[in-house]
Amino acid sequence: MNLYPLLPSLRAVTALVAAPASLVGLVLVAAPATTENDFVQPGSQPHSLNDPILSSFECLACHGGYDPDVEPYADWAGGMMAQSMRDPVFHAALSIAEQDMPAIGSMCIRCHSPGGWIEGRSTPPDGSALTGHDYDGVNCHSCHRLVDPITDPSNPAADSSILAGLAMPPDDAHGGQYILDPQDRRRGPFDLGSSFNYHPWEQSPFHRDSLLCATCHDVSNPAMVRVGGAIPSASDTYVLDALDTPHPTHKKIDEFPLERTYSEWAMSEFAQGPIDMGGRFGGNLAEVSSCQDCHMPDATGAATPPGFNPVTRDDLPLHTFAGANTWVPRSIGRLDQSLLLYGASEASLVDPALFEDAIAANQSMLARAADLEVQQVNQDIRARITNQTGHKLPTGYPEGRRMWINVKFLDSARNVVGEHGAYDLNTATLDTTSTKVYEAKLGLDAAMAALTGKPEGPSFHVAISNKIFFDNRIPPRGFTQAAFESVQASPVGYSYPDGQYWDDTLFQIPPAAIKAEVKVFHQTTSREYIEFLLTENTTDQKGQIAYDEWVACGKSQPTPMGSQQIDLAPRYSVTGLTSGSQATLSLEGCEIGARCIFAYSLNGAGPTQTAWGLIDLSPPIKQAPPAYAGSNGIASLQVTVPPGISGVPIWTQAAAVSSIGPLFSNS
């Protein structure tokens, strides 16, 4: 590739490279010379509000301190919506993103600190100007002043003038292209009545709509432009846009997809109407459809203390926003004390118990997100994971997040005789070679690698990633390849048939195994990712801070999502079944010392009811002499095959008489 035409668009720095002691060379490492203009987005713009975004403490007096099970403040305060700007992993990732693509931080801050961004403190884009309640994250005002970008007669009357007054109105909700009401008119799904006078309010259908969540849960890199047809295709490529210039269309389908959680939902069966999930999600709500239905489940309670004479509702939305982060909330409690990442005026002042409540809610959500079904299929077990969510499993931020299957095979003494997907809690190391890991891998294509000096291929350098190398995450109900491809969310390097929202994996059973224990785990932050944040940061100490917090909080200990143990039927095999020769009958997976019976029939495959149960042979049924399982759990018997029976069909089956009764093999 000829780089000379690109040189005016590059900000070059030099770096020492390894060389013989007698020779030290220099190599050019380049980051695109992006500016904040490259990340300008439609919607509300900095300094455009008449009334500022208030701190969550302004809401605490009326919406907290009375019932931590249902009150909005307590449910929200310990979770990642509240702590999005205190998250040490976000800070570490932001530093590297700024190294790789200068000014991209302004786009990140849009969603992690809407209050700070709208007041102009995302300049500089490394977040260093953010202060005070900018660290409130996605707080009460940030959400309750959101305006629907799509004109609808059911929306508040003021919305038409708000939309008309925008210099760049968005035509969709994504990538932080939000619209905030310039006035302090707090919006929500309920009619508060004409006598309500505590603050200005508007009833907003938008706050029940999944499109609201798309604002920050469909994320794209606007510095990249898609090269392809009118509708996205798996063959499309993405290139760096002209620099110091906003994206030409601001449409998410024309930008590089980093996260597509909303689009995954929009192409799922859940988006077509409510689904009865048997109480799995939704709280009091029997059927669920929207993001809010599952992540803000209905409860019975009131939104204010009794002194306000509130309405007790059976459809009070809980503000837990349960997701999948199972360690960072605990880290925030530690950072509030150490103040290593922010100052005292930015600390959350949240009761540490609320952080633990948030982690417990996330663990519960993960446990409900999937079903695990394990079956023996001849010489293998099949682990089926069914995605019960309305988006991919897992979904969201792809860096360091993963889900995998752990299988342990046990012999009759409960010794582990085989394991797949072993995880070492001390070193946080996962054996990825022996199991299936569900994840997405972004990275750099050859052109971007040449431009930036970073290696081609999968990479955690998300800011300069322009290619999806792999994505085997399990799609939701209603999946079709065409629909997901059209929203840049199709599987890559893996395939799912249309309509399939589960995935099967086969694991071969070791000879001595009589039981299998299968578990599914999710991990928020892998060792590989946290080490990347540590070693690639050349700007500040935020990578070290994130790493130290990761270690102190248990190294993002994997969260169990489901488990099942099954007893394994003995596996029967026959070799050397040739007329006039010696055949070997083998039965593996038996208890040590178990008496094993080999039977056969010349008349068919049954089934036949016997005193021991149903067997797959037709009478008359004949038996060979018994054999006994050795210390390896295998019983073998040599039998002579009579001459002259070539071509005669024989049906045969074996059974091991174990401590729990006879266990029949495959036939």
What type of residue sits at position 471?
Answer: D
What is the per-residue pLDDT for 64? 97
Q: How far apart are CA 235 and CA 404, in angstroms?
A: 28
Residue-level length of the chain: 667
Q: How far apart are CA 324 and CA 261, in angstroms?
A: 13
What is the per-residue pLDDT for 667? 75
Which residue, among 651, 616, 566, has the nearest Cα to 380 in the 3D structure? 566
Our CA angle for 425, 550, 560, nearest 5°, is 45
- Residue partners of 219: CB distance under 8 A and separation at least 6: 111, 174, 175, 176, 257, 258, 259
What is the per-residue pLDDT for 612? 81
> What is the pTM (predicted TM-score) of this model?
0.92
Give the per-residue SS3 of 516-539: EEEEEEEECCCHHHHHHHHHCCCC
What is the per-residue pLDDT for 484? 98
* pLDDT band for position 475 (cuts 50, 70, 90): very high
Rg of the chain, C-alpha, whole Å: 30
What is the per-residue pLDDT for 644? 82
For the chain, give the percent of residues with pLDDT over 70: 96
CATH of domain 571-664: 2.60.40
What is the per-residue pLDDT for 646? 84
Phi and psi at 335, nearest 5°, equal -70, -30
* pLDDT band for position 645 (cuts 50, 70, 90): confident
In 489-633, DSSP assigns E strands to: 502-508, 515-523, 559-567, 571-575, 582-588, 595-601, 608-610, 613-615, 622-623, 627-628
Phi and psi at 316, nearest 5°, equal -75, 120
17: Cα within 13 Å, side-chain hemisphere: 8
Range with the poorest average pLDDT among 13-27, 65-79, 172-186? 13-27
Mean pLDDT computed over 378-387: 96
With residue 418 as reference, give the H or E element that holds it: strand 416-420
How confident is the model over 538-587, as pLDDT tens digits?
Answer: 999 999 999 999 999 999 999 999 999 999 999 999 999 888 899 999 99
Q: Looking at the predicted structure, is the pLDDT value of residue 9 above 50? A: no
- Residue partners of 491: CB distance under 8 A and separation at least 6: 471, 472, 473, 475, 481, 484
486: Cα within 13 Å, side-chain hemisphere: 10
What type of residue sits at position 9?
Answer: S
Burial 119-146 (b: 16+ CB within 10 A, else e): bebbeebbbeebeebbbbbbbbbbbbbb
- Domain residue extents for the chain: 36-259+320-363, 365-567, 571-664
